[in-house]
Amino acid sequence: MAARRITTRNARFQQWQAQLSNRRTRQREREFLIQGVRPLSQAVAHGWPLRALLYDADRPPTAWARELLASVEAEKIAMAPGLLAELGGKDEGVPELIGVAALPEDDLRRIPVGPGFLGVVFDRPTSPGNIGTIVRSADSFGAHGLVVTGHAADVYDPKAVRASTGSLFALPVVRSPGQREVDEWLAAAGDAGRAVTVVGTDENGTVDAADFDLTGPVLLVVGNETTGLSTAWRERCDAMVRIPMTGSASSLNAANAATVILYEAARQRSRARR
């Protein structure tokens, strides 16, 4: 079944091990690891390009693993259990399969801007877990894509991939250097007759999210977990909305706030279709 076996900490194993913690290695090699049954199943279901499948050399595969090993066009590598466990990233024993996936291009044109467009910008996030959570929420509530801008945590960090629970492979996620590139993308959409309203989220917004029309083409902008939206994004937004809060908390976690606004957009759109 395998094109080769890996039983020692050879150069290739060390490369994959480095990808778990080193963003530069992931970027240089243009690949990252997929851990977990659901993320790997979602990657396969959505046609994500896989370069290799790593599996336990010492135990028979389950039906799920056997199907993937037989159907996925990728190099198959039988790996010593101890080495595979190190790449699994958890303390739950040896995983059945780990995928080695190719990084997609960071091209904003991967995100379709149609008449019912709903997108999200996450500006300068510091937590990969929050990125993964927003990806999951955006996928759940019908968004068409997520843009991560500025100096930010990595979309392909294992924590982000796990937190997305597979939604990373269903939703276009693009890293962008900053606001200028997003503006150029939006301008191109406007020239094609698909003008997008840019809506910022902030505790001091001028209108409650439920009172703002989110049924048209909208790009929601969520700020950094600590400092919120940058001055440049505040000035760029066409409107600033808030989530009304009645408890003692001063604000919501960025991923939680994004989830609430995405739900509100989905609720409004559902009602408008009735």
The per-residue pLDDT for range 209-237, each reduced to its tens digit, is: 999 999 999 999 999 989 999 999 999 99
Average pLDDT, rounded, for the chain: 94
What is the predicted pLDDT for the residue at 77?
A: 96
Cβ-based neighbour number of residue 182 at 10 Å: 23
| DSSP conformational letter for 104 | P
Chain centroid to CA 170: how far? 9
2 pLDDT higher than 60: no
Task: Give residue for tokens 């009645």.
Answer: 246
**175 vs 178: CA distance, rounded Å:** 9
Cβ-count burial of 63 within 10 angstroms (0-12 exposed, 13-18 middle, 19+ buried)?
A: exposed
Higher per-residue pLDDT: 252 or 44: 44
Confidence of residue 4 (pLDDT cuts 50, 70, 90): confident
User: What sign does the dihedral 38-43-47-53 (CA atoms) show?
Assistant: negative
Tokens of 19: 């990808």
What is the predicted pLDDT for the residue at 91?
A: 63
- Note the pTM of the prediction, 2 decimals: 0.94
Confidence of residue 135 (pLDDT cuts 50, 70, 90): very high
Across 171-178, average pLDDT: 97
What percentage of the chain carries pLDDT values higher than 90? 89
257-to-39, 55, 134, 159, 241 alpha-carbon distances in Å: 24, 39, 9, 20, 11
**28 vs 131: CA distance, rounded Å:** 21
